[in-house]
Amino acid sequence: MARTAYNPVTTPLRTPRSTEYEAFARVTRKLRMARDGNDTTLPMLAGALHENRRMWNFFAASVADAANELPNHLRAQIFYLAEYTTEHSRRVLKGQADIDALIDINTAMMRGLRQDEGTT
């Protein structure tokens, strides 16, 4: 037991960016299921949109915090995307828009988080 206590940890450590990536991946998967599922229902769609809006609201609050260390232009862009996501989600629920734009935005964010993770 003493020997194994000092062995390196084999599970990877989670970074803030990898945690953010996983949140986007999980929510985006639900959005895709709501779009592509054979049994797509309004509750399934509403649930996926709600989770997506909650995630974006969290990021909006985070970038609005003066202690956030991201550059101001990036903070503003993320805040704008959160506002857009809220408005577009309303339109999706009313049948006035499709969900693809939200999936595209989340996918772009995931690409950016992966690129940033590889450069740090």
CATH code assigned at 84: 1.20.120
In-domain check, residue 88: yes
Work out how many domains the chain is built from and give that number.
1
Residues 15-61: pLDDT tens digits?
888 999 999 999 999 999 999 876 668 889 999 999 999 999 999 99
Closest CA to 28 of 89, 98, 105: 105
Q: Which domain holds residue 63?
A: 15-119
Residues 61-101: pLDDT tens digits?
999 999 999 999 999 999 999 999 999 999 999 999 999 99
In-domain check, residue 1: no
In-domain check, residue 6: no
In-domain check, residue 4: no
In-domain check, residue 2: no
Residue 39, classified by CB atoms within 10 Å of its CB into exposed (0-12), middle (13-18) or buried (19+), is: exposed
What is the pTM for the complete model shown?
0.82
In-domain check, residue 9: no
List the end-to-end C-alpha distance of the chain, in Å, as a whole number: 35
